[in-house]
A and B are shown apart, each in its own frame.
Chain A
Amino acid sequence: MSRPKNQNYKCHGSSKGKEREGEWDFYWCDVSWLRENFDHTYMDDHVRINHFRNHYELTRKNYMVKNLKRFRRQLEREAGKLEAAKCDFFPKTFEMPCEYHLFVEEFRKHPGITWIMKPVARSQGKGIFLFRRLKDIMDWRKGTAGKKFASLEAQPARAPTATVNPSGTHDTRSSDDQKDELPVENYVAQRYIENPYLIGGRKFDLRVYVLVMSYLPLRAWLYRDGFARFSNTRFTLTSIDDQYVHLTNVAVQKTSPDYHPKKGCKWMLQRFRQYLASKHSPQAVEALFSEIDNIFIKSLQSVQKVIISDKHCFELYGYDILIDQDLKPWLLEVNASPSLTASSQEDYELKTCLLEDTLHVVDMEARLTGKEKRVGGFDLMWNDGPVSREEGAPDLPGMGNFVTNTHLGCVNDRKNQLQQLFRSLQVQKKASS
């Protein structure tokens, strides 16, 4: 199943679809198309497109770090240290090459720990490597990325904000300018999490789907299903060169000599949640999942003011979360174009249902009232404020028995729910006509 393009309403049966080139009501596009065409495309009111113009504020690792750091400082000023600490789900990260000096400072404070170098804009695990000594990044520096390094090292350390606009956004034109000077690829150096939670001796990460319908106000939905991606080999810190051990990305795993296509090395989130429930207390599991909710909310809030808000836009993000042995969740990255190719039958079903439900929430046919808290497998997680699980209860987090409306890894009886939902909507419509 390849990424759908120019999707009409074929799955809904009606057709307000595109006839001629350039005329469409709904576009599931590539980010490259977006970059080239968004600015000079006129869209009618009802038209929907599946990306925000500057989504990279959230999805490019270096921008996301900057936005999160800024948001954290703001929270500390406004709400105190405790509240700000809730943003500490991102391992210490330094942008390269401009934060190299800061990185070295931190590096020297913690000798012997492992760091991971990731290219900012590449995906599928390409270009990533681990290191423990500054010597290890010498070779890398000698490459094209290093040339910029060398020139920077010659200069006194500059504040990173010099290249950033006052509003906090990153002007795409400035990075284009940089491109003309030197073919530089930006990297981030991140503290590697050395104590990941292991199942069967293997490392894994979680892929979770979050659908953002708007940033101002922030409306976000959380999909109940997702999966845990396992590394095919057993986790050990002794061989940091073995990228197959450390990278759980399926694309990387597929090239590992151990890889057996039948396996797919994935567990659905439900299974993962069940596994945790048999090993840890219900309270510990609840706490973990509510910390994961916190990651979504804080990360979205940190870019809320920076993302160019546009009523035509919505976006389905793939969040990559790593759990450590203390049951603390860490954010690895956010993907604006999560892979929609399926590696197994189960996977195919998950992704098909995910897309279907995305279309239901986007609601091109305007069937929903806008007050729904659940549509298929999606639960409304944030609606300009936290959303309560209880029916009809006011969404006030101050109340003692407030439970957030998220059900990650829980039963997903989406077919039944959709049936009931649409039936009751029809009834409402008839009643009001």
Chain B
Amino acid sequence: MGIQGMELFAIGVVVILFMAVLKQFGILEPISSFEDSSDSDLELSTVRHQPEGLDQLQAQTKFTRKELQSLYRGFKNECPSGMVDEETFKTIYSQFFPQGDASTYAHFLFNAFDMDRNGSIRFEDFVIGLSVLLRGSVTEKLNWAFNLYDINKDGYITKEEMLAIMKSIYDMMGRYTYPCVRDDAPSEHVDKFFQKMDKNRDGVVTIEEFIETCQKDENIMNSMQLFENHWMMEQHQN
């Protein structure tokens, strides 16, 4: 009885080994390898993008030709494929805020720049966004900020959206702050914001309320001009 069993076992082992050998010779391949044939094709389509011509961009933005040239050179240097995906964007942006976690805010920022929502920022998006931020009128900038806060782009900023934005901004601070960031600090800040902005107390902030309130606030108006001057100074001499 035991002999019988051992012999069966032995024959089983032999059969397995035989199949292993056959696989090596490629005779058994069609059975096992039909799923890996399509992998090779995917790599060929390079994700690459060429921007529109210099003239069109000049028409669409408020940058001069030289500024566009300089911007493109910097952009292409960092992203040779011509497109920035969200991960790269997050990495780049996080490098400016080493103490905290800038990935959430970077996500919102990415969505604000990626206007056609295709998951990557092309040079046109980049430069158009920059044009608004640096050369645009105050209204345009405020529009842009509203767009940033309105996560689902429905035209209203809800408390939840604002809370998410606020949390992400506080996240960038990191742990080591003075005074320590309390857990309810973002929501407090959101409450203050809504108090200021939400005129009709309907729980959401519309674009008109937003712009109106901001235009009345001197601090905000001053700060809108802040970066513009600097940038113009930099680029002016290029």
- Binding partners A and B: no
Which A residues are closer than 8 A to B by beta carbons? Answer: none
Which B residues are closer than 8 A to A by beta carbons? Answer: none
